[in-house]
Chains A and B, each alone.
Chain A
Amino acid sequence: MNATPSATNGPAVNGAAVNGAARRGSALAPAERALDIIGGDLTEKSLRLHLEGLAGVDAVGLEERAASLGTRSIKTTSKAWALDTIIRLIDLTTLEGADTPGKVRSLVAKAVNPDAADPTTPRVAAVCVYGDMVPSAIEALGPWHGDPDDGRISVAAVATAFPSGRASLAVKLADTADAVEAGADEIDMVIDRGAFLAGNYGLVFDQIVAVKEVCRRGDGSFAHLKVILETGELNTYDNVRRASWLAILAGGDFIKTSTGKVTPAATLPVTLLMLEVVRDWHRLTGERIGVKPAGGIRASKDAIKYLVTVAETVGEEWLQPHLFRFGASSLLNDVLLQRQKLTTGRYSGPDYVTID
């Protein structure tokens, strides 16, 4: 029930200070999926061997496949459905130092009623804010707060010293606990990229397990955990595959590309790769993990390519809020403009969509 000592013991767990040999043999937190797949002898070493045994990625081939998926021509009825689906899958986001309760209220109003002139417009899936803005978001949502699969809107909070993740585990867990206590339905955590790139996979793993545990509420339910890999910093596709797999083994419900604060953020190839991991996990275990590309997706045209990529890689079933999200802010307005063109037949303009 409690996180294992190695994950919560004070300063020693920040990684660098711990002796390498000791780390290699030390047991990792007993996350259920990892125990199933890797087996009882779950250590830094066994985790590393497992991750390094995953198939490599040829970047040229991956990028060509993504580009090829991007040539699908989505028109008429397919386009209309796609635009509505994109909206339904958006985590409408504001993550600025300058965020105020007023800003959050404005965002929520847009989330609930994206196109003031068109009440047939679907609602977004969630609003995504910093942890301390969760109360403002919940208050603003009022009766619209709920499960996006039911057509309501959930509140996702970034946590764990977002975006850098550079703080002690205790601070990151406290950050998370505060958001959960404030009522966040979903937690978007960041992994420790420094630890990952230094090869301390066990440390990254244990931190995710610990955060997941803190997502457990008093009534036994869990806040939904999205694990942000920050693919732009992981740099290579091989790293992204390993980190994705690690995040799933450690208990993540979603794997998410980016914080949106680093370039490159979400790209079609990297999202394709993460969908392939999710597909493979499903083949292996029958379990469905969600994927969230975030940052840099501004045009409907691009978002549609993502829908195609999801459908043709893991299947249409994944085009639902509990399995796929877009982390975006300006995308919504571009989709609305496209939607307006489909309805009216003429090109629209920025004055016909609201800023939030």
Chain B
Amino acid sequence: MNFLDYAPAPESTSILNLKKSYGLFIDGEFVKGHGKPFLSISPSSEEAIAEIANANSTDVDAAVAAARKAYDRTWSKLSGADRGKYLFRIARLVQERARELAVAESLDNGKPIKEARDVDVPLVAAWFFYYAGWADKLDYAGLGPNPRPLGVAAQVIPWNFPLLMLAWKIAPALAAGNTVVIKPAETTPLSALIFAEILQQAELPAGVVNIITGAGDTGHALVNHSDVNKVAFTGSTAVGRAIAKSVAGTGKKLTLELGGKAANIVFDDAPIDQAVEGIVNGIFFNQGHVCCAGSRLLVQENVHDEVVDRLKARLATLRLGDPLDKNTDIGAINSQVQLDRVRELSDIGEAEGAERWSAPCVIPEKGFWFAPTIFTNVSTSSRIARDEIFGPVLAVLTFRTPAEAIAKANNTQYGLSAGIWSDKGSKILAVADQLRAGVIWANTFNRFDPASPFGGYKESGYGREGGRHGLAAYLKGASW
């Protein structure tokens, strides 16, 4: 028998208690939406999971009003210690329902259950634990002598890490004393709606967190609502730009976490096997749907062939398929729209003269799939070296000297993250010093932690999430 064709190891969905349809979570209750409901589908099977409510502007008004009322009457009157206790409760409940949340996330997003279980959900709990502890210590955060919350925060999150992005938004906002109206992405609302049940179980006061599902219109109405004090957005640079414009002059504080085209720099003295793992993790983790993905491999020219050969050999053991199989490494692309974009840009890459190689994965019939792909012979002026693809596609470029690596890495309008691989500490630190990126990983990649600030330079956005710095976005009298 072929051992490497591991027998199916499916995670059961029986742990889920899915409803046929979900309402909007406003003022502590699930209520009907007034927009046209839509279906959320599983991107690996294209089957419907549940019907999702659609919030129109009336619903947005109601949600903001609920958040405002909760802020004025309840949340702003609670002590930091009490706010912290609610956050601790939420963290615990996330841990208790961890498996359920992981299965829901994998089903709705298409990401492998292994990742949802081992990365996403544990980080979600950790994020709430971390910020719970800050709630009564804001005076010590180095953000001014008497930091005050802003009021009502409008938050719009993307589909790539649905529950984790929700945690990144809600935890610091609540710890700092704000109330929240949050809009999950339209293709991935499920885990947020289960999270709403957790909020009920935690007995979080009604209106402190409101979760309104919908699409672009809902998000637009929300960020432009006049009674919102703060806007936080994670998503594409194009939409981030539009939000920055619409917020101008309104007095709303804004933080943005946008796109990236990170350079993963591999020097000739890199620990080569771990560097190959880091490259793979950098661009194929989460199917490449990661803003900080290492989508450009900058490899020192004298080891280019060696690294590419090892990389191809390594990619041959990646398993693409049913996200709910515990042995799946590469899950489904989140939507047809995203798949089309990945395909389009990959075709452009070929047309531009780069050499295309894909892992020999068997593609299932139904669902949205894209085999891990690398392009060699890419030049700095290629579109695939500049545009964010947001899929499992790696562009490989070379450099000769550390200075050239830095120049190429920085030569982009983005500035979210970067990776450096070398056995030489002085070189790593000198390169880290000069890279214009908000998160730099040395001999590792895609590491996240609630204590570690995350965010970009330049067109990757502004503001930081995580750590002490992550509080600044939600307090008056603090920078960003």
Note whether A and B contact each other (Cβ less than 8 A): yes
Which A residues are closer than 8 A to B by beta carbons? Answer: 55-58, 60-62, 64-65, 71-79, 81-82, 85, 276, 307, 311-312, 316, 319
Nearest 8 pairs of A and B residues by beta carbon = A61-B274, A73-B9, A73-B326, A58-B271, A78-B7, A56-B423, A58-B274, A55-B272
B118 contacts the other chain (CB 8 A) = yes
A312 surroundings in chain B (CB, below 8 A) = 4, 317
Contact of B9 among A60, A61, A75, A82 (CB under 8 A): A75
B326 surroundings in chain A (CB, below 8 A) = 71-73
Whether the pair A61, B4 counts as a contact (CB closer than 8 A) is no
Whether the pair A81, B443 counts as a contact (CB closer than 8 A) is no
Within 8 A of A (CB), among B1-57: 1-4, 6-9
Whether the pair A276, B273 counts as a contact (CB closer than 8 A) is yes
B215 surroundings in chain A (CB, below 8 A) = none
Query: What's the least CB distance linking A252 to chain B, in Å?
Result: 21
B247 contacts the other chain (CB 8 A) = no
B61 contacts the other chain (CB 8 A) = no
A62 surroundings in chain B (CB, below 8 A) = 273-274
| C-alpha gap A64/B423 in the complex (Å) | 17
Whether the pair A81, B3 counts as a contact (CB closer than 8 A) is yes
| C-alpha gap A58/B7 in the complex (Å) | 32
| C-alpha gap A76/B269 in the complex (Å) | 43
B274 surroundings in chain A (CB, below 8 A) = 57-58, 60-62, 65
A77 surroundings in chain B (CB, below 8 A) = 1, 7
| C-alpha gap A56/B274 in the complex (Å) | 9
Whether the pair B3, A75 counts as a contact (CB closer than 8 A) is no
Which partner residue on chain B sits nearest A57 by CB separation? Answer: B271
Which partner residue on chain A sits nearest B303 by CB separation? Answer: A55
| C-alpha gap A81/B2 in the complex (Å) | 10
Whether the pair A72, B6 counts as a contact (CB closer than 8 A) is yes
Query: What's the least CB distance linking A321 to chain B, in Å?
Result: 15
A57 surroundings in chain B (CB, below 8 A) = 271, 273-274
Given A55-B270, A61-B271, A73-B326, answer yes or no on A316-B277 (Cβ-Cβ < 8 Å): no
B95 contacts the other chain (CB 8 A) = no
| C-alpha gap A179/B443 in the complex (Å) | 46
| C-alpha gap A58/B275 in the complex (Å) | 9
Given A61-B443, A64-B277, answer yes or no on A56-B269 (Cβ-Cβ < 8 Å): yes
Whether the pair B2, A61 counts as a contact (CB closer than 8 A) is no
| C-alpha gap A71/B319 in the complex (Å) | 13
B272 surroundings in chain A (CB, below 8 A) = 55
A64 surroundings in chain B (CB, below 8 A) = 277
| C-alpha gap A333/B114 in the complex (Å) | 30
Whether the pair A56, B327 counts as a contact (CB closer than 8 A) is no
Query: What's the least CB distance linking B32 to chain A, in Å?
Result: 41
| C-alpha gap A55/B443 in the complex (Å) | 14
Whether the pair B443, A78 counts as a contact (CB closer than 8 A) is no
Whether the pair A75, B7 counts as a contact (CB closer than 8 A) is yes
B338 surroundings in chain A (CB, below 8 A) = none
Within 8 A of A (CB), among B311-350: 317, 326-327
7 contacts between A and B (CB under 8 A): A58-B443, A60-B274, A61-B273, A65-B274, A72-B6, A79-B7, A311-B3
Query: What's the least CB distance linking A74 to chain B, in Å?
Result: 6
| C-alpha gap A285/B443 in the complex (Å) | 29
**Most chain A Cβ neighbours within 10 Å, of B4, B118, B273, B277:** B273
Query: What's the least CB distance linking B239 to chain A, in Å?
Result: 34
Whether the pair A74, B9 counts as a contact (CB closer than 8 A) is yes
